[in-house]
Amino acid sequence: MQAVILAAGHGSRMGELTTAIPKPMIDVGGKPLLQYKLELLSDEFPEIEEVVVIVAYAKSVIQHTFGSKFSRLPIRYVEQREHNGTAGALWEAKELLKDRFLVMMGDDIYAKEDIAQALAVEQGWAVVVQQLPEMHRAGSVELSDDGLVARIVEGDLGAQPGIASTNLYLFDARLFTAPLVPKQAGSTEYGLPQTAAEGAKTLGIPLQPLFTDRWIEINAPQDLVRAATILKVRATTAVQ
């Protein structure tokens, strides 16, 4: 099985931190955000046999840091040639992806338990989601009466609570037969959340929500301090 890490973003909201490096290479707790994903996949999930990293802005920083292999895992790099959204980024790798595969963001931090619950899904697709007290710019997940994902809507939702997509997915190659869906009406960027939800509906594939409370989202510089604190607590707890 393969895992795809979307690491093409600039991270403009991170200010000077991304002047010379892409957002997934920002240091948290002594190592780049991207490294947390690579370590977890390599150390904990032997079923993952290859990682595909989608790159664009300052791509050489990622390529020179991690090379063609991380621990036991071969890495292949694919460049996102256009600024056309997260679905556009994933579609760049469609010729490389066979059967089932994971997708995750290069600039967020995921827990082992949540990758495990995604890999445990045997039928259909899945997305890990989290209840948030304030949604702001998180992708809002709407569920159908049968508990599956019906829609994922992006935009600034302010301080209202909701169910957020963590952008950790399990897909299979059928995804690439679905039409690309813009993030919002009139947008030139194609959103992976929107494309996944509409594709599941069109193709008759269940898109299961997998709930967590362990997602660490990195949107702004102040999130880095919070992330480092959480990771330190988790590391201490794991040792105990």
Q: Are strands 149-153 and 140-143 parallel, antiparallel or unpaired?
A: antiparallel
CA 203, CA 234: separation in Å to the nearest integer?
A: 39
> Domain 2-128+165-173+208-239 maps to which CATH number in 3.30.1370.10, 3.40.50.150, 3.40.30.10, 3.90.550.10?
3.90.550.10
Provide the 8-state DSSP code for 77.
E
Please state the domain extents for the chain: 2-128+165-173+208-239
The mean pLDDT of the chain is 94
CA 66, CA 58: separation in Å to the nearest integer?
A: 14
> Which helix H or strand E contains 234, and what residues bound it?
helix 221-239
Tens digit of each residue's pLDDT (9 = 90 or more) over 146-189: 999 999 998 777 788 999 999 999 999 999 999 999 998 888 99
Q: How many percent of the chain have pLDDT more than 90?
A: 82
CA 159, CA 169: separation in Å to the nearest integer?
A: 25
pTM of the model: 0.95
Task: Flag whether pLDDT at 81 surpasses 70.
Answer: yes
CA 152, CA 143: separation in Å to the nearest integer?
A: 9
Contacts of 186 (CB under 8 A, 6+ apart): none
How many residues are there in the chain? 240
What's the average model confidence in pLDDT over 85-90? 97
